[in-house]
A and B are shown apart, each in its own frame.
Chain A
Amino acid sequence: SQELEQSPQSLIVQEGKNLTINCTSSKTLYGLYWYKQKYGEGLIFLMMLQKGGEEKSHEKITAKLDEKKQQSSLHITASQPSHAGIYLCGADHSGNTPLVFGKGTRLSVIA
């Protein structure tokens, strides 16, 4: 089974709507990273969350880490076409291990 599960796999939202993407780990999280990827390109770092539960915001994107559930959520408020892309979560399970990534959530924003 997948170590890091993302849901939904894909999402189509109307411009201006809010949306949430979830990332659940089967192992204890030391740190959780969110990245955005345009098709066929590299990953762009969005936010890093540390164990113990944390919430961070940047522009219209908010990410939270629920330590008890080993789960993180990424929330986008008032989505725009520029938010379209693939959102990937990456887990660090000990502070010294390579990042393990989920399969990603493909977001499309339509006018």
Chain B
Amino acid sequence: DAGVTQSPTHLIKTRGQQVTLRCSPKSGHDTVSWYQQALGQGPQFIFQYYEEEERQRGNFPDRFSGHQFPNYSSELNVNALLLGDSALYLCASSSLGEGRLRPLHFGNGTRLTVT
């Protein structure tokens, strides 16, 4: 039973560029959430996708956008990269069918460095 998988594991980009990160949820999960974790900080919620729609969004600018596909996999896109976007980007999946309290299952993240 594959867990949450993310690609790529590492990425180096230049300021102003655009980046796409990918995530495949754990088998049986239908909801994907994205988090940004800066060095020494806890993860910060970016947004959540369910049924191919953005359901909830954290305090992140419109430069951050996403998509969920019919197979529940998801992409995170960041445009016009800033140095401050350098972080570990974590994808987490869950299933609404598990009830209101359900643990998020995290991938190993994508380490993005913006130079």
Contact = CB atoms under 8 A, between A and B. Distances in A.
Contacts, number: 57
Interface in B96-112: 100-101, 103-109, 111
A43 B42 CA distance: 11
Contacts of A101: 35, 42-44
- Interface residue tally on A, bucketed by range: 20 to 34
Given A40-B88, A48-B101, A50-B101, A100 B45 contact: yes
B8 interface: no
A42 B103 CA distance: 14
B33 A98 contact: yes
A31 B43 contact: no
A41 B101 contact: no
Interface residues of B, number: 25
Nearest to B102: A48
Given A43-B43, A44-B106, A99-B45, 16 more contacts: A30-B101, A31-B101, A35-B106, A40-B111, A42-B106, A42-B107, A42-B109, A48-B103, A98-B48, A98-B56, A98-B58, A100-B45, A101-B43, A101-B44, A104-B41, A104-B42
